[in-house]
Chain A
Amino acid sequence: MIDTKYKIKSKKNDIFPFINGIIMVLFVIVTLYPVLNTLAISLNDGTDALRGGIYLWPRKFTWKNYTTVLHKDNLITGAYITVARTLIGTLLSLAANAILAFIVSRKRFLFQREVSLFWVITMYVNGGMIPTFLLYKGLGLTNNFWVYVIPGMVSAFNMLVIRTYMNGIPDSLEESAQLDGAGYSTIFLKIYSPLCKPVYATVALFVAVGQWNSWFDAMLYNRMSSNLTTLQYELMKLLSSVTNQGTSAEAMKNAAGTVTPTSVRAAATIITMLPIICIYPFLQKYFVAGLTLGGVKE
């Protein structure tokens, strides 16, 4: 007791900010080091990297790992498919969730309660992996690009995020537009959607990141179609080739230097994470707002 009282009074010798600063610096190091280390390895000669001792800077600089990646056909295909699924998937998902959110946030909508409940249930109950797999197979969605886009298109969670935002828009806007003769389509497209840009950005980011990072659907449904592979799935195959071969991995000799599975994977990892790293800092205010929407009680 005496001890704590003493601490409170001795404000001048407060070392807490100092310790807290150190904790934050450590946190930043632990967060960033693995990424920077991967970057250094990706820019280093492959066989040389196997010796270890590379930290934040390449020892034997080379672009060879990147040129190797860019000459791998399966990675190029994966990149095209990943970009396509991210663009198409995000657009469709955003449109579907926004329309649904608009419908269930209309106070006069006849089946507001029923439709909301119908979707909320889907957040808690699902058929599981096997029935879902058989269904997609039955629908012809296996070995098909659309399995990346269609199944997850409407997500109750994202829909509810948009709905919460729309609930905050005054009803008077809708009413006055209706007096001017506007239908629901016009109200949705011309009045609500422009106002909902922040929450649309949030949901679009959530969906896009999910699309960009997903690999399990490629493995489960499109394993047989190499032309439908995704970047992350190819990266996963690179990872398992590295772990299986270990350090005895056979280095591929080249005039310009050597590459190993480890160094090639490092390059592929950097290429895969680059777009996201470049984009997310600019969308910060949107996802922070979107996440806290409704979660914090005033």
Chain B
Amino acid sequence: MSLTRTKSKQKVKQTRTPITWKEIKRQKVLLFWAGVMMIYGVIFYYLPLAGWTMAFQNYKPQLGILHSEFVGLQKFQMLFSDVTFLRVIRNTLAMGVINLVATFVTAIVFAILLNEIKSNGGKKTVQTISYLPHFLSWIIVTGILHDMLSGTGIVNEVLVNLHVLSQPINFFAHPGYFWPIVAFANVWKETGWNAIIYLAAITSIDPSLYEAAAIDGAGRWNKIKYVTLPGIKPTIVILLLMNVGNVLNAGFEIQYLLGNGLIQKFSQTIDIYVLKWGISQGDYAIGTAAGIFKSLVSIILIVLANQFAKHNGEEQLF
């Protein structure tokens, strides 16, 4: 978020200070700390990238990266001929997209509805409560989900009492329920939190626009459609752009914690695959190859989304 704005500002008025000994001496404190941080960054963020070579090798830990046999794209061929991996890509993409759409829509709708509440106290109370789930860990959220969806849980009880179900069902034994459960959990956890930014955007809309709309005879629905939504559109676009690249990152904790043998064909994601093959089975090359695939797709998605926004005259990330 912050990135986009400052960058465009900088482009306009940045003039570089020429590098002279006097200037270097003057800035020695800054340079020293920037250097220290840089060393840290190289070790913890850039050095792991050197590990990508493992994906192109018949990697043996005792031989290391320097002496393992080079095998080209063989590991990637193995990866893409693995039915499990293809299924895992499908699951990751499907859950990523469903979650993205569900959390976006609910956050925007919630922000608009909350903004329509006239009582300030009520608004504040609802908002404070809405943040709560964001602060809970996935461990707690999945524990709660287990309780709510268990045979004696409230969901089964309500559904049975409403005669939607004749008897309680085990939600975690049916693969078909898994994606909706994950989507619901994400919505439950993040709606209030994600709405913060939309509420701020709505507040910054010029009130005279609403007055003008009212004079033109616009009702509540038309005001939302023609004033509020266009007003928060730049925010929506920026957040979408930022999140599109994360679609493949959207799947680890909850799937790992909620998945079980019965539904793993629908619950396993790329990260779980990497953990299973890379760490548990010790096949570093395959695990790394799967990780590289994920990174590449994410970067391609971000660039594509950015290009798309550019062509349509929208906000851009870079």
Contact = CB atoms under 8 A, between A and B. Distances in A.
A107 B114 CA distance: 41
Contacts of A139: 43
A181 interface: no
Contacts of B302: 124
Interface in A5-33: 7-8, 16-17, 20-21, 23-24, 27-28, 30-33
The interface centre, meaning the residue of A32, A185, A295 with most chain B CB atoms within 10 A of its CB, is: A295
Contacts of B144: 34-35, 38, 269
A110 B19 contact: yes
Given A130-B291, A273-B140, A294 B6 contact: yes
**Chain A interface residue count: which class?**
35 or more
A194 interface: no
B288 interface: yes
B30 A106 contact: yes
A96 interface: yes
A57 interface: no
Contacts of A280: 131-132, 135
Contacts of B287: 128-130
Nearest to A119: B41
Interface string A212-242: 1111100010000000000010011001001
Interface in B43-66: 43-52, 54
Interface residues of B, number: 104
A23 B143 contact: no
Interface stretch (B79-87, B91-99, B146-154, B174-182): B146-154
A37 B221 CA distance: 37
Interface in B115-133: 116-118, 122, 125-126, 128-133
A119 B45 CA distance: 9
B139 A120 contact: no
B67 interface: no
A111 B154 CA distance: 59
A167 B143 contact: no
A106 B17 CA distance: 11
B164 interface: no
A164 B274 contact: no
Interface string B210-242: 000000011111100000000000110011000
B12 interface: no
Given A17-B116, A106-B30, A216-B253, 7 more contacts: A24-B122, A34-B144, A108-B23, A118-B41, A129-B275, A130-B284, A273-B140
Interface of B: 1-6, 9, 14, 16-17, 19, 23-24, 27, 29-31, 33-34, 37-38, 40-41, 43-52, 54, 110, 113-114, 116-118, 122, 125-126, 128-133, 135-140, 142-144, 146-148, 151-154, 157, 188, 192, 196-197, 200-201, 204, 217-222, 234-235, 238-239, 245, 252-253, 257, 260, 271, 274-275, 278-279, 284, 287-288, 291-292, 294-295, 298-299, 302, 315
